[in-house]
Chain A
Amino acid sequence: MILKAENITKSFSNGQRILTVLRGIDFELPEGEIVTIMGPSGSGKSTLLNILGTLDKPTAGDLKINDLDISRLRDRELADLRNRTIGFVFQFHHLLPEFSALENILIPSLIPRKNSNLADRALELLDYVGLTEWKDHYPSELSGGEKLRVAVLRSLINRPQIVLADEPTGNLDMANASNLIQLFIGINRDFKQSLVITTHNPEVADIGHRQFEIVAGKLIQRNS
């Protein structure tokens, strides 16, 4: 099991009121699986994904990644874990505008002190999604769909065990969305990539080996 979450609870306090978004979620992610999570706006999808991605801490509950207790890690170890084990894709591509497509893909590989040159891998990935010709384009010179595909490649460059995608198609038209869906299916099939994807889009939800919905702070499986 790459990732194991037990009894995750998350509350926010806005002044007087305490809002409990997640109420005791148990979740496991085996290698090579696509998990999709649906749920109405405000149900806590992003909150859960942030916790799974170590960007946020649960109010209660345990999270283990590769049997490592996340709550025990220090800032620098967490950063290292995120760099090597987790890839993020967001609704807004969040590419760095000052870097070309190729450079953007390479950025995670440059962060560790001892980094290896992954330029060849980045080019292969660009080729994989058919964006080789766009490698030197800056984000402002790419379409929304292209930007998102580059962002997905960026999340893959360090061969992370987990890719977390928060509403990746939320900002795309139908054609680009299905393009991205095909990409997710492809990387899962070709690279045995584990994926956790939150979405409002039923088509995206359908690609999950397991498909969940957050209802009243609980994670409920929709398929079997």
Chain B
Amino acid sequence: MKFSLLIAKRFMLGGRGSGASRFTGWIAIIGLAVGCFALIVSVAVLNGFEARVTDKVVGFEGDLRLTARDPAIDLIEIAAALQGTGLVQSYMPFMERKALVINDFDDSRMVTVKAVDFSKITSFYKLGVDSISNNNSVLMGLLVSQRMNAIPGDRVKLISPIDMPLGFGLPRMLRLPIAATFRAEVLDYDDRMLFISLPAGRQLFVRKTAIDGIDLRFGDQQFPEEARTRIEAVVPTGVEVRSWAELHSGLFSAMRMEKVGAIMVLSLIILVASFNLTSTLALVTYQKVREIGILRTMGVTRPGIRRILLIQGLIIGGLGAACGLIISSALVLLQQKTGIIPLPTEIYIIDSLPMILYLQDIIIIPLIAFSLIILGSLIAGNRATLIQPKEAVQMEK
């Protein structure tokens, strides 16, 4: 190993009097650096946006949702008990149903009405609304209010078509003032959600006998996965625990797929750069046929020759990959600290490009890079083992 390293270093890029392999060697190094850079930066950006989306969704819905299969189960009691153990910081019971919202000009829209505890609403959900004084009012998605041509203070009618009380032919209707509008800035919530208070919900959804579920929020010190398993362990059977990722599995898996796809496509850059490395090492082999042959006559085995080229490939490739990985990670850190790469706020809501690297990325990406570097070096190394010493030593100086 020490010997292989010594030879690999001295034979680096063809050793003395090389030219061509030095040139292709640098191209391979640059290619690997670019590939690793692109991979790290894109994964960091995808992570960044994913975290933004997750943050917004969780802000709008809570960390976990409890629902009961049996209406007899008292979810509020369970949630209060969880809060008592400290597993859960706060909880929010809700009822939810499709309803029709109608303005004074009789424009109507189908929306989702979520009835929640108005006393906690602004602290539990991140809606960008400070407080709501009037319990008997509507908190309306900004886009809904724009489409309905209604501003805070205006009154709207809410009709729940399903909730027709027995005997009467007309469904339930409430007429409530708009207390405020909110911006969730994620999914289409702003365009289809209204909040009302639980008492108002009970009036509107007369056919509902119990709440539909409870949104939970973890304490700050909790690891979401750990908290979740502990909660699942204590809730009685018949209570379902679901995270935002399960509630929005389409969105969640789309973001995952996007990341996997980006990694696969950008790995192709590294693959091509590794092939550059292969041809560089093949060139080195070609320049060093005589020396490789003479080493074989002196007792270096075929695996020994392969090892020399592998080490050389790892040094060259490692240099390229390390450059790419270090520069890109530094960029990610810089962006996290200073936010020097701006985003147009009108489109993206946030003012600078979000970049996040997780431990798994810091492991997987170098692993991909080095696997491909090793692959490329072994291809060249195997060719070098085919050199026949008896032919190599006949070559003239």
Residues of A bordering B, CB below 8 Å: 46, 50, 53, 55-56, 75-76, 79-84, 88, 90, 92-94, 96-99, 107-108, 110-112, 115, 138, 140, 154, 166, 171
Determine the distance from Cα of A138 to Cα of B301 in the docked complex, in whole angstroms.
26
B148 at interface, CB cutoff 8 A: no
B298 touches A140 (CB 8 A): no
With A46-B394, A92-B395, A110-B3 as contacts: A97 and B298 at CB distance below 8 Å? no
B11 at interface, CB cutoff 8 A: yes
Chain B 285-308 near chain A by CB (<8 Å), digits 1 or 0: 000001101111111111110000
Residues of B335-394 contacting chain A, CB below 8 A:
389-390, 393-394
A88 touches B397 (CB 8 A): no
How distant is B287 from chain A, measured CB to nearest CB, in Å? 11
Determine the distance from Cα of A88 to Cα of B394 in the docked complex, in whole angstroms.
12
With A82-B298, A98-B11 as contacts: A92 and B397 at CB distance below 8 Å? yes
Q: Which of B6, B16, B294, B303 contacts A94 (CB 8 A)?
A: B294
Determine the distance from Cα of A76 to Cα of B303 in the docked complex, in whole angstroms.
9
B397 touches A140 (CB 8 A): no
Q: Given the complex, which residues of A lie within 8 Å of B290, measured CB to CB?
A: 92, 94
B106 at interface, CB cutoff 8 A: no
Determine the distance from Cα of A80 to Cα of B299 in the docked complex, in whole angstroms.
6
B297 touches A111 (CB 8 A): no
Interface residues on B, range: 20 to 34
Chain A residue with the shortest CB-CB distance to B9: A98
Which of B15, B295, B298, B304 is the most central at the interface, judged by chain A CB atoms within 10 Å of its CB?
A: B298
Given contacts A82-B297, A99-B10, 5 further A-B contacts (CB under 8 A): A80-B299, A88-B298, A90-B294, A94-B291, A94-B393
B298 touches A83 (CB 8 A): yes
Chain B residue with the shortest CB-CB distance to A90: B393
How distant is A80 from chain B, measured CB to nearest CB, in Å? 6
Determine the distance from Cα of A84 to Cα of B299 in the docked complex, in whole angstroms.
8
B397 touches A93 (CB 8 A): yes
Determine the distance from Cα of A50 to Cα of B391 in the docked complex, in whole angstroms.
10
Residues of B47-83 contacting chain A, CB below 8 A:
none
How distant is A97 from chain B, measured CB to nearest CB, in Å? 5
Interface of A is mostly: mixed
How distant is A79 from chain B, measured CB to nearest CB, in Å? 4
Q: Given the complex, which residues of A lie within 8 Å of B296, measured CB to CB?
A: 55, 79
Chain A residue with the shortest CB-CB distance to B293: A94
B301 touches A75 (CB 8 A): yes
B107 at interface, CB cutoff 8 A: no
Which of B11, B293, B394 is the most central at the interface, judged by chain A CB atoms within 10 Å of its CB?
A: B394
Determine the distance from Cα of A56 to Cα of B391 in the docked complex, in whole angstroms.
10
How distant is A153 from chain B, measured CB to nearest CB, in Å? 13
B390 touches A75 (CB 8 A): no
Please, could you name 18 A-B residue pairs with CB atoms under 8 Å apart, sorted by A? Answer: A55-B296, A76-B301, A76-B303, A79-B296, A90-B294, A90-B393, A92-B397, A94-B291, A94-B397, A97-B291, A98-B15, A107-B295, A111-B3, A111-B295, A111-B299, A111-B300, A140-B16, A154-B298
B16 touches A97 (CB 8 A): yes
B130 at interface, CB cutoff 8 A: no
Determine the distance from Cα of A98 to Cα of B11 in the docked complex, in whole angstroms.
7
B396 at interface, CB cutoff 8 A: yes
Q: Given the complex, which residues of A lie within 8 Å of B169, measured CB to CB?
A: none
Q: Given the complex, which residues of A lie within 8 Å of B16, measured CB to CB?
A: 97-98, 138, 140
Determine the distance from Cα of A209 to Cα of B119 in the docked complex, in whole angstroms.
112
How distant is B31 from chain A, measured CB to nearest CB, in Å? 26
With A75-B302, A82-B299 as contacts: A97 and B389 at CB distance below 8 Å? no
How distant is B381 from chain A, measured CB to nearest CB, in Å? 15
B17 at interface, CB cutoff 8 A: yes
Which of B2, B293, B301 is the most central at the interface, judged by chain A CB atoms within 10 Å of its CB?
A: B301
Q: Given the complex, which residues of B lie within 8 Å of A94, measured CB to CB?
A: 290-291, 293-294, 393, 397
A55 touches B390 (CB 8 A): yes
How distant is B41 from chain A, measured CB to nearest CB, in Å? 38
B291 touches A88 (CB 8 A): no
Q: Given the complex, which residues of A lie within 8 Å of B301, measured CB to CB?
A: 75-76, 79
Determine the distance from Cα of A84 to Cα of B395 in the docked complex, in whole angstroms.
24
B390 touches A56 (CB 8 A): yes
Chain B residue with the shortest CB-CB distance to A83: B299
How distant is B299 from chain A, measured CB to nearest CB, in Å? 3
